């Protein structure tokens, strides 16, 4: 059984916009996120998922927007 959860937290970013189009988004701080907020999935897995996300794994990719 796969456990999956989505959460979000605030991070400082640099956003560049040209002619009303976002051209670049840069995360300015790779520090640990604070006050994570549950979004979707298995809420009981949230604590363990947060611990896994900060245990030194490399990020597979950043995806901006939906």
> H or E segment at 46?
helix 46-53
Q: pTM for the whole thing?
A: 0.62
Provide the pLDDT for residue 63. 60
Summarised one tens digit per residue, pLDDT across range 9-60 is 888 888 899 999 888 888 777 667 778 899 999 999 999 988 888 777 666 5
Distances (CA, A) of 34 to 8, 19, 31, 54: 9, 33, 9, 12
Provide the pLDDT for residue 59. 63
Provide the pLDDT for residue 64. 60
Q: 50 phi and psi, to 5 degrees?
A: -65, -45
Please enumerate in sequence order all residues whose Cβ is within 8 A of that of 35, keeping only pairs 6 or more positions apart, or say none.
9, 10
Which residue has better confidence, 41 or 62? 41
């Amino acid at each position: 059984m796969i456990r999956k959860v989505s959460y979000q937290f605030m991070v400082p970013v640099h956003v560049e916009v040209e002619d009303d189009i976002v051209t670049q988004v840069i995360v300015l701080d790779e520090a640990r996120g604070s006050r994570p907020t549950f979004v979707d999935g298995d809420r009981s897995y949230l604590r363990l998922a947060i611990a896994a996300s900060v245990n030194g794994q490399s990020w597979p990719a950043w995806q901006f927007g939906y």
